[in-house]
């Protein structure tokens, strides 16, 4: 994800990294070429003249803007829901760590409570990394090996749905504490509430990742945008003449950029510039949990590769 400090109005005009303009340049170049052909044919440099009225383009443009608005709203809703789910992941893991430190009997003077809480924090710190790799279909071995003990690592890596396996391990931790009478019934209920919250987060993320927007809806808008932009120069040339390439490219950029941004954030857990910064979020959650244990913690001096301040 590209994260920038606030830019003034002029630097915003020149912003390159994090925008969709680089990937649109070949397509805008095609529109430019079509605009030059339209101007040349209008001035009778070519033998074939193609002039279209602006009326159908006005009607199609309005309808296309409405459709793109719905497309962007649907994609941004998925992006924002993904961000809220990861925010809930931070809240629930913090709550579980706090409860592990304060709810067991003898929490005020029993050093064993801190040792046992650290075992739970290891599980919870590994959870965001396991979830991130599952959503991105990447290998979690290296990240989990840094956090989990070998026996637990082997168990987690042997499972298919590793985040839920970690939640199961956390639930087993609660069961063992209750069996040894260090947690009463009310404390167990408090733990279970937050563990169920973690299950909801995992299920919500899996639902977003496995349910894209309907393909027919996406391809219909995609085709309409490019058909509109390809014919637009021939509709403008009669009224604005030599300025057709300028306005045709500008309008094409507006429509194509909206479609490209919606396509990027439709899957908020990916690795494109405008997707969620899951590497940074995973690191931050681990730091926040160890901070509750009283460990000396610092955020990385250099942000993860996807989390760029430029």
**Looking at the structure, do residues 134 and 251 belong to the same domain, yes or no?**
no
Q: List Cβ neighbours of 17 (8 Å cut-off, separation of 6 or more).
A: 2, 273, 308, 310
Residue 271 lies inside a defined structural domain of this protein: no
Distance CA 298, CA 284 (A): 9
Sign of CA dihedral 131, 132, 138, 144: negative
- Do residues 156 and 162 make contact, with C-beta atoms less than 8 angstroms apart? yes
**Looking at the structure, do residues 96 and 184 belong to the same domain, yes or no?**
yes
**Looking at the structure, do residues 236 and 252 belong to the same domain, yes or no?**
yes
> What is the tens place of the pLDDT at every residue in 95-144?
999 999 998 886 555 677 888 899 999 999 999 999 999 999 999 999 99
Ranking 25-34, 99-108, 149-158 by mean pLDDT, the lowest is 99-108
| Model pLDDT, residue 45 | 61
Residue 164 lies inside a defined structural domain of this protein: yes
Look at the chain and count its residues: 310
3-state secondary structure of 3: strand
Distance CA 205, CA 210 (A): 9
Domain that holds residue 188: 86-211+276-309
**Looking at the structure, do residues 136 and 228 belong to the same domain, yes or no?**
no
- Do residues 196 and 190 make contact, with C-beta atoms less than 8 angstroms apart? no
Distance CA 245, CA 267 (A): 34
Ranking 25-34, 86-95, 139-148, 270-279 by mean pLDDT, the lowest is 270-279
Ranking 206-215, 256-265, 296-305 by mean pLDDT, the lowest is 296-305
Residue 81 lies inside a defined structural domain of this protein: no
Torsion angles phi and psi, residue 2, rounded to 5: -95, 120
Over residues 71-94, mean pLDDT: 95
**Looking at the structure, do residues 24 and 119 belong to the same domain, yes or no?**
no
For residue 62, name the pLDDT band (cuts at 50, 70, 90).
Answer: confident
**Looking at the structure, do residues 232 and 120 belong to the same domain, yes or no?**
no
Over residues 208-215, mean pLDDT: 90
Over residues 241-253, mean pLDDT: 91
Over residues 234-262, mean pLDDT: 89
Residue 291 lies inside a defined structural domain of this protein: yes
How many percent of the chain have pLDDT more than 70?
89
Over residues 251-269, mean pLDDT: 91
Q: List Cβ neighbours of 281 (8 Å cut-off, separation of 6 or more).
A: 86, 90, 128
Residue 270 lies inside a defined structural domain of this protein: no
- Give kind and range of the element (H or E) at residue 38: helix 21-42
Torsion angles phi and psi, residue 18, rounded to 5: 95, -15
**Looking at the structure, do residues 123 and 173 belong to the same domain, yes or no?**
yes
**Looking at the structure, do residues 127 and 176 belong to the same domain, yes or no?**
yes
As for how many domains the chain has, the answer is 2
**Looking at the structure, do residues 98 and 168 belong to the same domain, yes or no?**
yes
For residue 301, name the pLDDT band (cuts at 50, 70, 90).
Answer: very low
Residue 45 lies inside a defined structural domain of this protein: yes
3-state secondary structure of 4: coil
Over residues 195-205, mean pLDDT: 96
Over residues 79-93, mean pLDDT: 96
**Looking at the structure, do residues 184 and 111 belong to the same domain, yes or no?**
yes
Q: Which structure tokens are listed for 304?
A: 């993860």
**Looking at the structure, do residues 175 and 298 belong to the same domain, yes or no?**
yes
Over residues 184-213, mean pLDDT: 94
Residue 146 lies inside a defined structural domain of this protein: yes
| Model pLDDT, residue 118 | 92
Residue 219 lies inside a defined structural domain of this protein: yes
**Looking at the structure, do residues 102 and 200 belong to the same domain, yes or no?**
yes
Q: Which structure tokens are listed for 233?
A: 């120069």
Whole-structure pTM value: 0.86
Distance CA 198, CA 91 (A): 10
Give strand pairing partners of 308: 2
């Amino acid at each position: 994800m590209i994260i920038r400090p606030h830019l003034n109005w002029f630097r915003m005009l020149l912003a390159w990294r994090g925008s969709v303009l680089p990937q649109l340049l070949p397509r805008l170049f095609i529109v430019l070429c079509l605009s030059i052909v339209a101007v040349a044919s209008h001035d009778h440099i070519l033998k074939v003249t193609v002039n279209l009225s602006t009326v159908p383009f006005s009607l199609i443009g309005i309808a296309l803007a409405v459709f793109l608005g719905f497309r962007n709203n649907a994609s941004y809703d998925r992006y924002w829901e993904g961000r809220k789910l990861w925010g809930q992941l931070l809240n629930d893991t913090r709550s579980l760590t706090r409860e592990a430190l304060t709810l067991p009997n003898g929490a005020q003077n029993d050093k064993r409570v801190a040792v046992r809480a650290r075992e739970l924090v290891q599980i919870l710190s590994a959870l965001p990394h396991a979830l991130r790799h599952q959503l991105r279909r990447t290998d979690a071995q290296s990240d989990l090996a840094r956090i989990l003990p070998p026996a637990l690592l082997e168990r987690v890596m042997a499972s298919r749905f590793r985040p839920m396996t970690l939640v199961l391990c956390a639930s087993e931790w609660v069961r063992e504490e209750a069996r040894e009478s260090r947690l009463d019934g009310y404390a167990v209920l408090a733990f279970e509430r937050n563990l169920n919250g973690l299950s909801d987060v995992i299920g919500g993320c899996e639902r977003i990742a496995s349910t894209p927007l309907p393909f027919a809806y996406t391809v219909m808008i995609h085709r309409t945008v490019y058909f509109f932009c390809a014919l637009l120069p021939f509709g403008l040339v009669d009224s604005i003449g030599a300025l057709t390439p300028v306005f045709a490219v500008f309008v094409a950029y507006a429509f194509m950029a909206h479609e490209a941004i919606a396509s990027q954030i439709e899957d908020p857990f990916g690795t494109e510039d405008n997707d969620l910064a899951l590497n940074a979020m995973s690191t931050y959650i681990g730091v926040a949990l160890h901070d509750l244990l009283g460990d000396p913690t610092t955020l990385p001096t250099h942000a993860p590769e996807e989390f760029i301040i430029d």
